[in-house]
Amino acid sequence: MYYCCMKNEEVERLFRENYRRMFLVAVFLLHDEAEGKDAVHDVFETVIRNGIELRGETASGYLLSSMRNRCLNRLRSMRIKEKVANEYVIFSNLESVTDEDASEEKIATLNAGISHLQPPVCKKIIEMHFRQGLKFREIAAKLGISETAVYKHLRQAMASLRSQLTDNEYGKD
Amino acid sequence: MEKTDMLLKMLDSPKDYSEAQWDEILSDKECQELYDDIARTCGAVKANYKPLTDKEIAHELQRLFQAGTEHLPQGHAKAEAEGATMAETYLEKPNGGKSKGNIFIKGWQRVAAIAAAVVVVSGFAYAAVSTHFFGIASKPAKPAKVEQSAKPRRAPKKIQKEEAVKVAEPKLFDNVVLSDILAELSDYYGVEVEYKDEDVKGLRLYFEWNPDEPLTGIISTLNNFESFSIKLEGKKIIVSKAKQL
């Protein structure tokens, strides 16, 4: 059903239509833009090289699933220290990751949750650590609080985000 | 100090701790959950950091098409402005021919694709690794890979005898069971394979084999998989289950 050949224009159309979503999920899993771009690139290259024809409604799903698999496979191939050094372990058990776990919806829910975190210092810590790449001890020094206080706020933020994801999963507001 | 505080402290300088220490801390359920939360949040923040522009997407599309062409045809921007698609500009030349090595060449690859169609992803773990990371092609975004991909390669002896065209190509095992991959490798390198655990035979892998690479290098690459462990003892490859994280 998938295996035949697509016209070049069709490949280009699928690329333009799906690139943003695929890249978003790839960066979510790999935590790196350049690797995310390579992952999407590789999926399309495989489609082209193997002459895989993607049709209609199934095309986007196929591309996104292939991309997730590639990212998870990349994570599986890493040693634990490499994963930890890069905060790559998205789930302790990669075998249990579903399409829903790495979906646009989940990424959007998390980001909405981050923007509403209370108290505001929780959001600040997340921005300083994940966006600016500061270590927890550096954050503590900048904010004039103890490292233990940073840990406490971070744990609180993580619990809040986890709770929002669970609520969202069960359809609550 | 609470275990979760210890985990956060370790995250500040991960390289100062041994693999065993990481194993131990992540074996604690609460720490595992916190770590997953952190990694998930990190991913969401990074994914949301800078929305892609149309120009960046066009650049990536160009990179995809370039991967299969020897040189980039000139004037795409102008052609695109005139309504031509990227595919028309790069791939469908006025003479109707395609560049050597074009990724859209379909002949024998179509046969390979049909063969691949019978491979069904089942309940087996589907794992992937490549001697070139994800790579089938050179990646402008990663100069190191370009250098590696550009290296001339020697094909397996069998292939050299049968089909000269494929001589310089590495072999891609896409969703192929471990036992089939090792059967081919053992034939090529002249070694035996022994399985300590039969279960691992059915693991499906995505693995790019570069026949230029010595067997020790291949074994080392395959050991990056965490689902199984593989070692070379004399003239024998020994495969067993790996400890789960």
DSSP state of A43: H
CB spacing of A31 vs B19 below 8 angstroms: no
Per-residue pLDDT at B122: 33
Does residue A122 sit within a domain? yes
B130 and B218, same domain (yes or no): yes
B132 and B229, same domain (yes or no): yes
Closest partner residue to A155 among B4, B125, B225, by Cβ? B4
Does residue B24 sit within a domain? yes
CB spacing of A48 vs B68 below 8 angstroms: yes
Does residue A99 sit within a domain? no
Q: Is B162 on the interface with A (CB under 8 A)?
A: no
Does residue A96 sit within a domain? no
pLDDT, mean of residues B28-57: 88
Closest partner residue to A84 among B14, B87, B174, by Cβ? B14
Per-residue pLDDT at B226: 74
Burial class (CB in 10 A: 0-12, 13-18, 19+), B83: exposed
CB spacing of A28 vs B8 below 8 angstroms: no
Residue A93 in tokens: 């058990």
A85 and A108, same domain (yes or no): no
Does residue B43 sit within a domain? yes
A38 and A82, same domain (yes or no): yes
Backbone angles phi, psi at B240, to 5 degrees: -145, 170
Which B residues, 126 through 155, put their C-beta within 8 Å of a C-beta on chain A? Answer: 126-129, 133-137, 139, 141-142
Whether B133 has a pLDDT exceeding 70, the answer reads no
Contact predicate A70/A45, CB 8 Å:
no
Which helix (H) or strand (E) element contains residue B233?
A: strand B228-233
Does residue A2 sit within a domain? no
Instruction: Output B3 or A94, whichever has higher pLDDT.
Output: B3
pTM: 0.57
A49, A163, A169: best to mutate for the B interface, most B CBs within 10 A? A49
Q: Is B59 on the interface with A (CB under 8 A)?
A: no
- Residues of chain A contacting residue B142, judged by C-beta atoms under 8 Å apart: 34, 38
Contacts of B61 by beta carbon, 8 Å cutoff, 6+ apart: A12, A15, A16, A19, B86
Percent of chain A topping pLDDT 70: 84
B36 and B139, same domain (yes or no): no
Domain of residue A53: give its range: 8-89
Query: For B121-238, where are the alpha helices, taking DSSP H only?
Result: 143-150, 157-162, 178-189, 215-222
Per-residue pLDDT at B169: 62
Of A99-108, A164-173, B221-230, the range with the lowest mean pLDDT is A164-173
Whether A96 has a pLDDT exceeding 60, the answer reads yes
Instruction: Output B9 or B211, whichever has higher pLDDT.
Output: B9
Does residue A138 sit within a domain? yes
With cut-offs at 50, 70 and 90, classify the pLDDT of residue B4.
very high
Q: How far is CA A125 from CA A31, B7, B9, in A?
A: 18, 17, 15
- Residue B172 maps to which CATH number? 3.55.50.30
| C-alpha span between B102 and B70 (Å, rounded) | 8
Domain of residue B7: give its range: 3-47
A85 and A27, same domain (yes or no): yes
Does residue B39 sit within a domain? yes
With cut-offs at 50, 70 and 90, classify the pLDDT of residue B218.
confident
Does residue A36 sit within a domain? yes
**B156-182 pLDDT, tens digit each:** 333 333 333 334 467 788 778 898 889
A123 and A148, same domain (yes or no): yes
Does residue B169 sit within a domain? yes
B236 and B130, same domain (yes or no): yes
- Residues of chain A contacting residue B226, judged by C-beta atoms under 8 Å apart: 76-77
Does residue B107 sit within a domain? no
Contact predicate B34/B4, CB 8 Å:
yes
Does residue B105 sit within a domain? no
Strand-pairing partners, residue B211, are none
A114 and A83, same domain (yes or no): no
Domain edge (last residue) among A65, A89, A113: A89
- Residues of chain A contacting residue B110, judged by C-beta atoms under 8 Å apart: 4-5, 51
Q: Is B183 on the interface with A (CB under 8 A)?
A: no
A84, A99, A111, A115: best to mutate for the B interface, most B CBs within 10 A? A84
**B67-92 pLDDT, tens digit each:** 754 333 333 444 444 444 444 444 43
Contact predicate A130/B41, CB 8 Å:
yes
| C-alpha span between B114 and A82 (Å, rounded) | 37
Does residue B33 sit within a domain? yes
- Residues of chain A contacting residue B53, judged by C-beta atoms under 8 Å apart: none
B132 and B219, same domain (yes or no): yes
CB spacing of A24 vs B8 below 8 angstroms: no
DSSP state of A52: B
- Residue A16 maps to which CATH number? 1.10.1740.10
CB spacing of A19 vs B52 below 8 angstroms: yes
Domain edge (last residue) among A89, A112, A127: A89
- Taking residue B75's Cβ as centre, other Cβ atoms within 10 Å add up to 12
Does residue A95 sit within a domain? no
Per-residue pLDDT at A124: 95
Contact predicate B47/A24, CB 8 Å:
yes
A66 and A121, same domain (yes or no): no
Instruction: Output B154 or B209, whichever has higher pLDDT.
Output: B209
**A122-171 pLDDT, tens digit each:** 999 999 998 888 999 999 999 999 999 999 999 999 999 999 888 776 65
- Residue A142 maps to which CATH number? 1.10.10.10
Q: How far is CA B182 from CA B128, B160, B201, in A?
A: 15, 19, 9
Instruction: Output B136 or A107, whichever has higher pLDDT.
Output: A107
Q: How many domains are contained in chain A?
A: 2
- Taking residue B128's Cβ as centre, other Cβ atoms within 10 Å add up to 24
pLDDT, mean of residues A27-52: 88
CB spacing of A41 vs B64 below 8 angstroms: yes
Does residue B167 sit within a domain? yes
| C-alpha span between A98 and B205 (Å, rounded) | 19
With cut-offs at 50, 70 and 90, classify the pLDDT of residue B201.
confident
Residue B118 in tokens: 């019978």
Q: How many domains are contained in chain B?
A: 2
Size of interface A-B (CB pairs under 8 A): 220
Whether B30 has a pLDDT exceeding 60, the answer reads yes
A81 and A113, same domain (yes or no): no
**Is the bond into B140 cis (omega within 30 degrees of 0)?**
no
The pLDDT mean for chain A works out to 84
Per-residue pLDDT at B72: 35
Per-residue pLDDT at B91: 40
A25 and A79, same domain (yes or no): yes
A109 and A163, same domain (yes or no): yes
A28 and A68, same domain (yes or no): yes
Domain edge (last residue) among A89, A113, A128: A89
